Chain A
Amino acid sequence: MQLNKKILVAVGLLFATVIVSAQDPDDILKQLEKEISGDEKDRTDYTTATFKTTRLVNGHTVENVGKGVLDVKISHRFGNINDGGYELFGLDKATMRMGMDYGITRYLMVGFGRSTFEKTYDAFAKLKILRQSSGKRKMPVTVSYVPTVALKTIKDPDSDKTNYFTSRLFFSHQLIIGRKFSEGTSLQIMPTFVHQNLVDLEKEPNDLFAIGIGGRQKLTKRVSLNFEYYYQLPNYKLTNRTNSLSIGFDIETGGHVFQLHFTNSPGMNERTFIFDTKGEWGKGDILFGFNISRVFTIGKNKRN
């Protein structure tokens, strides 16, 4: 009786294996894929390439440069298009920022730059706090924190005034919350705070707040359309300043990203482009500009 049971079990198992065993290459592939997708649940798949590069137009994206990568960036903004034909629609004027970014780890990058606009030096760090992922560990967004310090070195026209070093300093803190919704569409929200030690008028606030929204839509595999808009909170903005709006294209040319854009902001660090923009799109105060970057891999790291 006991033996019969065992035989029955044995026959049953045998029968079962015959059923699950593959009959032809397609079946064995399906069986393999089933096993792999079973294991997949225990893996975490991190989202990559939310944006093509570390900048959207003027501001940061959630992206970092890789570990050991040096990214040399040269950014140009020409003059206002509505300056007319005499100024060749703004092309006769230019402000620029030269800068370098470096990836210390996959989560931390640092950078510095110098803008001709008010002869400003800036330095920043970008720390990835959360990474969007699916699978075992699910995270809907990527979150980065970008603290920046900027030093304005342009000479004060009022030479009688005592100028302290600290009055030339600006501090900004930015949180970037981004999500890649699909292969082509990504959006991010950027709450930004800037503290300036010295303001022009007593009634002007020292602390400035803005909320930014930006995104990209891929048009082809190598070209994407970007936009970036910063809304300054009414009680935390300087008078006669407008909100920064930029629209641009990322064009990837064999490893390097070339960015072309239209913006109403001549500045290229957080304080100047978000809180010191005076031009209005409606009046045609639009500037043409571009960012070019050249990437050098310095640290040789095998786990790219």
Chain B
Amino acid sequence: MLLLLLPATQALTQSLNTGNGIISFRSDAPLELITASSNEIRGKLDTSKKIFAFSVKIKSFNGFNSPLQKEHFNENYMESNKYPDATFSGKIIEDIDFSKNGTFTLRAKGNLIVHGVPQERIIKSTITISNGKVQIKSNFTVQLSDHNIPIPKVVHEKLASEISVEVTADMK
């Protein structure tokens, strides 16, 4: 009886967690292209209240053009010991029925915290619902200056001031 109750209570909270997810970023500067990605993205989505939170460990990003670049990314730009995670949490603006299958474009309004600096953002996402499972895909950009990440003069041509980010997350 208790075992039967367990899934029932889960359905009541209507909270989904990330299964597989990948987040990647791309800095396209005149002299250098830098890409890195992490599959250590974690998220929660409350389908009844339409609220969500996502988080990724900065240190879990791999890729880059050299090991030294990764070290500098963590040590000098993101300061990942001080600010270990980047997060985005907020609310879905549009009404959406998570019990219906289909693909929808939604806007999420929330707080994007990168390098410890919060920015209120509205981010467009494509959500695909199939039998209670939700896949979220999103592309957005992050201005380094918005998050207090200065670009030293010597790397101006090697580091873009605007970084494009791509996220895919399966929620269940």
Contacts and interface: CB of A to CB of B under 8 A. Distances in A.
B46 A303 contact: no
Of listed A32, A45, A48, residue having the most chain B CB within 10 A: A32
A31 B152 contact: no
A304 B64 contact: yes
User: What is the size category of the interface that chain A forms with chain B?
Assistant: 35 or more
Main secondary structure of the interface of A (DSSP, over half): mixed
Interface residues of B, number: 45
Given A22-B51, A183-B82, A66 B67 contact: yes
A200 interface: no
B110 A25 contact: yes
A9 B6 CA distance: 11
Contacts, number: 113
Interface of A: 6, 9-10, 13-14, 17, 20-26, 28-29, 31-33, 35-36, 45, 48-49, 65-67, 69, 103, 183, 221-222, 252-255, 295, 297, 302-304
B90 A25 contact: yes
Contacts of A221: 75-76
Given A32-B55, A49-B74, A255 B9 contact: no
A29 B89 contact: yes
Interface in B69-101: 69-72, 74-76, 81-82, 85, 87, 89-91
A259 B74 CA distance: 21
A6 to B, nearest CB: 5
Given A32-B42, A33-B55, A48 B68 contact: no
Given A25-B110, A28-B51, A10 B91 contact: no
B171 to A, nearest CB: 12
A14 B12 contact: yes
Contact of B69 (A6, A17, A65, A304): A304
